[in-house]
Amino acid sequence: MANVRLYQFVTSPFCAKIRKILDYKGIDYELVEVDYVDRRNLLQASGQMMVPALTLPSGETITESDLIADRLEVAYPEPTIFPAHWRGIHIGLARYFDTEIEDALFRAAVTDEIEHYRRLGPDREALWRLVRERKYGIGFCDQMVRDQAANLERAAARLAPFDETLERRAFLLGQIGYADFALYGQLYYLGFTGEVKIPAQLANLRAFYDRMDRISALIESDPQG
């Protein structure tokens, strides 16, 4: 059994980010899919109800993706996710992806998330809807379903500058780093069903997503890098 354990919801972009960092660093880990209704195993491990949560070999459990990434970098420094002299810009970009881009892509993915939790059972769908509608207002989920096409167009507009950036390079700043993992995590909203729904006009981002998705222990050699 792996000494590192990641508690996740499969639809979470922040969990996708941490999974890919673990893959990149070649860390053997156990993946624990948390039941959306019965979160007792998560609560026992971390003392709270949110994912991602990562249990280290020491038995300590860390929550929040930025804190998890920092701790992994300290414990497993090679290969690095913070290239020399570029840490600050990677953190700044990652925060933008995890807030502004997250909001746009979340809205575009609501239909797929509802369908995912509906397949798991009416109680899970009901709780997922309740949590979102307490935050965004009554009727939010159904409105997002109706607005799916428009939401995807808005998300594509937000992503277009990064598609342009990736036209002549494999990663955002040339060398892979934390911002790339954060962007991958958010794009995962459009890929968690198994069908990649990144708009076709964002061809460079589609290639980037595929490149990141195929990371295992070490990044593949890429002449554009």
Q: Check: pTM over 0.75? Answer yes or no.
A: yes
Quote the pLDDT of residue 65: 98
The token pair that represents 150 in the structure block? 């428009």
d(CA 184, CA 148): 21
Report all structural domains of the chain as residue ranges with CATH numbers, in order of start. Answer: 4-75 (3.40.30.10), 87-213 (1.20.1050.10)
Minimal CA–CA distance to 9: which of 47, 49, 68, 69? 49
- Tens digits of residue pLDDT in 105-134: 999 999 999 999 999 999 999 999 999 999
Cis peptide upstream of residue 83 (ω within 30 degrees of 0): no
d(CA 136, CA 113): 16
- In this structure, is the dihedral angle defined by the CA atoms of residues 58, 33, 155 and 205, taken in order, positive or negative? positive
Q: Which residues of the chain have pLDDT under 70?
A: 1, 217-225
Quote the pLDDT of residue 224: 40
